[in-house]
Structure 1
Amino acid sequence: MKAVVLAAGEGTRLRPLTEDKPKAMVEVDGKPILTHCFEHLVELGADELLVVVGYLKERIISHYGDEFEGVPITYSHQREALGLAHALLTVEEHIDDDFMLILGDNIFNANLADVVNRQQEDRADAAFLVEEVPWEEASRYGVCNTNDYGEIIEVIEKPEEPPTNLVMTGFYTFTPAIFHACHLVQPSNRDEYELSDAVNLLLQSGRTIDAIRMDGWRTDVGYPEDRDDAERRLREEREAREAAAEADDEEEEDADTELSVEADDA
């Protein structure tokens, strides 16, 4: 399965971190956000990375070249910042089957594989990783309405008064049908071609989109304090793993010592 990574953003709210680099190249825990995304996608089995670049695109292209951990990279240039649906259309010619889509400004430690597995079951036309957020934060995201079967029935982009607090997280799977919907999208009141509008067109045409509840966490790196939060979470998880490994080593040493004592007594 191919994977599309949207990494054309400038990241004005992240300044001064983005004064000399695109948003996706801001470092979190010692490596660019984009590297974190690539690592997840390679682990999920991506056989090609389609990276949409824009602002300071040469910083991304020169850093990664034409492959990442043996997986080929194809770059596509979004020449104007006209929204996510517009960005997605720049890779249409490269897609002829189901694919993954990740926004290149998110740090995940979550059940991304559940989304891919659901897509491969052929029971849905798309699957989204979704998350419940505090109500006061929901207006920052695409908000989802769902039915009793866990299927998405409507997406509302950054509503002033969110009807729910269930939001899209920035990881999706789609069939190529999404491209036809993107072509039909009209500019929003932000003068952008919104991915949420394309999703609603899919739904109106009778397509099924499953909502996969997030197990874990993610951080949308929109502000410098978000970067700090993601680094804290990653650091705490690394320290927890190291402590667990150290405890396992101590248990093995204690077990070896007991065996040695028993052998000497015998």
Structure 2
Amino acid sequence: MKAVILAAGYGTRLQRDVQNDGSGEFVHLRGIAKPLLPIGHSVLLSHWLKALSRTPSIQKVFVVTNSLYHEAFKKWAQEFPSVEIINDGTWKNEERLGAIACFQLAVKHFGVDDDILVIGGDTLFKEDFSLSRFTKHFAEMQRKDKNSNLVLSYQCKDEETSKYGILEVDSDLKVQCMKEKPLPTETNSRSACPCFYLFSRTTLPLLDAFLKEKETGPIEERDAPGHFLSWLILRGTVYVHRISGRFDVGNLPSYLECDRYFKEQLKNPDIYLM
């Protein structure tokens, strides 16, 4: 199994918040890619790598970044021998390839023909999440169906459905459909789906078909990872693994909430994410 961390975003909302903050308290965050932000007593991505490097089923980790932050990621990766960095060649947000194109870039560049874990580089989870339980769940699904895929979900609030992709699942936790940012009245489900997917190797060829279909559409169709997942659900088998919640570092308030949790509430940092 391989892992791809999507880290080619430019963090425009967060950097705008930092620039507009008049207190001067957050100057140290200027120009730092979101996956390299300090969270608690570690860099955000380092929380992941400490767990991934201790997971026997994951042999290699690929991080996709951009030209602006490439050197910073290369410096960070010196601590983790299992990591390889790839540059998507862009310098600014307007040039971005989109998350799914970055995913495909890693698959093709490194010749991946394996089950592959996809992680959003600005995401962390509450302490109940376990990488070993998640990969074990995937293995159980694979024994029944080699084409099955596994994604995370957590219960969001009614007023939050319009912010996320919402999964509708059956009694076997098989995904029936995904609704992109629906109103609370448009679905009974509150199962939000973060960017954390474990795709079967048989799913990887579908990346080409998806991007070919979307190549003339707006960048947003290739950018949000949920668009590929929504497309995949109509063509493949996707199951849900439930967790209690996540941290999505999108702006300054959400960054501060996440940082505070890791400094004040994280109970077992040595085994976090394991």
Match of 1:184 among 186, 192, 209: 209
* Residues 2-40 of structure 1: per-residue CA shift (max 9 Å, x gap): 111111111111122663121211111132211112123
Match of 1:198 among 228, 231, 239: 228
* Residues 190-219 of structure 1: per-residue CA shift (max 9 Å, x gap): 5431433322333322x211101104x421
TM-score, normalised relative to structure 1? 0.79
* Residues 78-125 of structure 1: per-residue CA shift (max 9 Å, x gap): 234232211110111331111211111012231333321122221352
Matched, 1:171 2:188: no
| Bigger relative contact order, structure 1 or 2 (CA pairs below 8 A, ≥6 apart) | 2
**1:78-97 paired onto structure 2 within 5 Å:** 78=88, 79=90, 80-93=95-108, 94=110, 95-97=112-114
Match of 2:130 among 111, 132, 137: 111
Residues 100 and 116 in structure 1, CA contact (< 8 A), matched pair in contact too: no
* Residues 233 and 183 of structure 1, relative CA distance in 2, 3 Å threshold: same
Alignment correspondent of 2:22: none
How far residue 126 of structure 1 moved from its aligned partner, in angstroms, is 0.8
Residues 98 and 219 in structure 2, CA contact (< 8 A), matched pair in contact too: no
Larger Rg: 1
Following the alignment from structure 2 to structure 1, what is the Cα–Cα distance between the partners of residues 183 and 96? 23
Matched, 1:211 2:211: no
Aligned letter for 1:31?
S
Following the alignment from structure 2 to structure 1, what is the Cα–Cα distance between the partners of residues 204 and 182? 24
Identity of aligned residues (%): 23
Aligned letter for 2:201?
P
- Matched position secondary structure for 2:52: helix
Following the alignment from structure 2 to structure 1, what is the Cα–Cα distance between the partners of residues 268 and 114? 37
Name structure 1 gaps, 5 residues minimum.
243-266
**1:42-121 paired onto structure 2 within 5 Å:** 42-45=53-56, 46-54=58-66, 55-65=68-78, 68=80, 70-71=81-82, 73-78=83-88, 79=90, 80-93=95-108, 94=110, 95-108=112-125, 109=127, 110-121=129-140
* Residues 156-210 of structure 1: per-residue CA shift (max 9 Å, x gap): 33345662321112222111333332222316655431433322333322x2111
Following the alignment from structure 2 to structure 1, what is the Cα–Cα distance between the partners of residues 174 and 75? 41
* Residues 211-239 of structure 1: per-residue CA shift (max 9 Å, x gap): 01104x4211111111221222223334x
* Residues 182 and 195 of structure 1, relative CA distance in 2, 3 Å threshold: farther
Alignment correspondent of 1:228: 256
Following the alignment from structure 1 to structure 2, what is the Cα–Cα distance between the partners of residues 146 and 175? 19
Following the alignment from structure 1 to structure 2, what is the Cα–Cα distance between the partners of residues 106 and 191? 19
Following the alignment from structure 1 to structure 2, what is the Cα–Cα distance between the partners of residues 23 and 137? 23
Matched, 1:138 2:161: yes
* Residues 137-173 of structure 1: per-residue CA shift (max 9 Å, x gap): 2322222111221111222333456623211122221
Aligned letter for 1:22?
A
* Residues 92 and 233 of structure 1, relative CA distance in 2, 3 Å threshold: same
Aligned letter for 1:60?
F
Alignment root-mean-square deviation, CA: 2.4
Following the alignment from structure 1 to structure 2, what is the Cα–Cα distance between the partners of residues 84 and 59? 20
Alignment correspondent of 2:38: 27
Name structure 2 gaps, 5 residues minimum.
19-25, 270-274
* Residues 140 and 189 of structure 1, relative CA distance in 2, 3 Å threshold: farther
Following the alignment from structure 1 to structure 2, what is the Cα–Cα distance between the partners of residues 183 and 7? 21
Following the alignment from structure 2 to structure 1, what is the Cα–Cα distance between the partners of residues 195 and 106? 17
Residues 7 and 105 in structure 1, CA contact (< 8 A), matched pair in contact too: yes
